[in-house]
Chains A and B, each alone.
Chain A
């Protein structure tokens, strides 16, 4: 897995190469990488790429993955249409 063109975040098309470039530029927290690259900000909200990214950051920092904090988890668990929310609320 040394090919920089491998896609890590499939929602936002972020590659390992993008991540490595940002790490080398000094953005070494997942919160920073998320904001600069949009990694983990797409429809799946990082459920696919978070752990892969954590391993990549850990390797760069020569740390164990569990010592690299993940991005803050925010709602929603899955996408919901605004219409469904508005109408569901009306039924109550």
Chain B
């Protein structure tokens, strides 16, 4: 089998890149995934989409992506519901340091056209009345942030790509990427050999390993993040509620269930995706403290997914001087789903040699060679 490009990973990034290449005229695009559609991090994510970030690159990626989501179903001619809702993210400031930092964050976000604002405790309680008033000092709110169904959004890209001729190979494991004289020759899976000169690494938690297949070193690692969902109930919460210092995100999805997660401190690097009682214990206590009413709901399912962590918690996109024809779409540090529309556009533009829609300097892997790079995203749970 021959192809123009092989994309490893059929999550939101891989499907978005494939679609964006195909719509710009590329033929013979192959996407490989060892599982099924959204089997990895995409299908395990918290389903939130936000623009309230602390670095310029993350803010602009997020803003442009939200603009895409607003018209995604019609753009991709998808006839099912992608369950996009824009009822905001309410980010709680729980310490004086957070109050101060969030004012700077909002100033940056506003300068980039993101309609976030600082809200007082009283205003926050009007937006989410069941918050424990003793749990926070103030908050920031961006009404155009929200929720999107990861299964359906990925399916929309998948179907649109397939209609443009993209080939998807599921249940197929990449075993080797052969490089000769500094050029990619072929990708070998457990089922076939694909002749190709270009590979995109959109392998999520396994991005470092896929890089190693081709001798490319990528400074990322996988980290388990756990999450749970409750029974569905009638609507009682519009926005995602989030706190960095109290370590929580919690949103009621349009279907009615609450999805919530937090980071387990000192989580070892690796591919463990099991569910722990330690997470459940800490999650239950955290949500009962911040939103006691939500604590009355039955939790019904618990799972985990990988964050692909980069050194500055910003994505790593585009080519690398380590190997011609090898492209990166990884290191999203837990936010690949919400950035995917721009990941797709920027990768397609860089691969095809077109001018890029956004500046990409802060997103290229080369930024880690510079001692002067100071951007670091702290707004992560």
Contacts and interface: CB of A to CB of B under 8 A. Distances in A.
A86 interface: yes
A32 B35 CA distance: 10
B301 A81 contact: no
B103 interface: no
A29 interface: yes
A63 to B, nearest CB: 15
A35 B303 CA distance: 14
Contact of B296 (A31, A32, A81): A81
A82 interface: yes
Interface string A14-37: 000000000000000101100110
Contact of B284 (A36, A38, A42, A89): A89
Given A35-B37, A83-B288, A45 B301 contact: yes
B331 to A, nearest CB: 25
Interface string A76-89: 10011111011001
B275 interface: yes
A75 B288 contact: no
Given A31-B39, A43-B298, A74-B302, A89 B155 contact: no
B223 to A, nearest CB: 20
A81 B302 contact: no
Contacts of B280: 75, 85
Given A82-B288, A83-B284, A85-B284, A43 B300 contact: yes
Contacts of A6: none
Interface in B250-292: 255, 275, 280-281, 283-285, 287-288, 292
A84 B231 CA distance: 15
B230 interface: yes
A8 to B, nearest CB: 18
B158 to A, nearest CB: 10
Contacts of B287: 82
Contact of A81 (B281, B283, B298): B298
A41 B253 CA distance: 14
25 contacts: A29-B36, A31-B35, A35-B36, A35-B43, A35-B151, A36-B152, A42-B231, A43-B231, A74-B301, A74-B302, A75-B280, A76-B299, A79-B231, A81-B295, A81-B297, A81-B299, A82-B284, A82-B287, A83-B284, A83-B288, A83-B292, A85-B281, A86-B281, A89-B281, A89-B284
Minimum-distance CB pairs A-B, first 9:
A79-B298, A85-B284, A86-B284, A35-B151, A83-B295, A82-B284, A82-B295, A86-B288, A89-B281
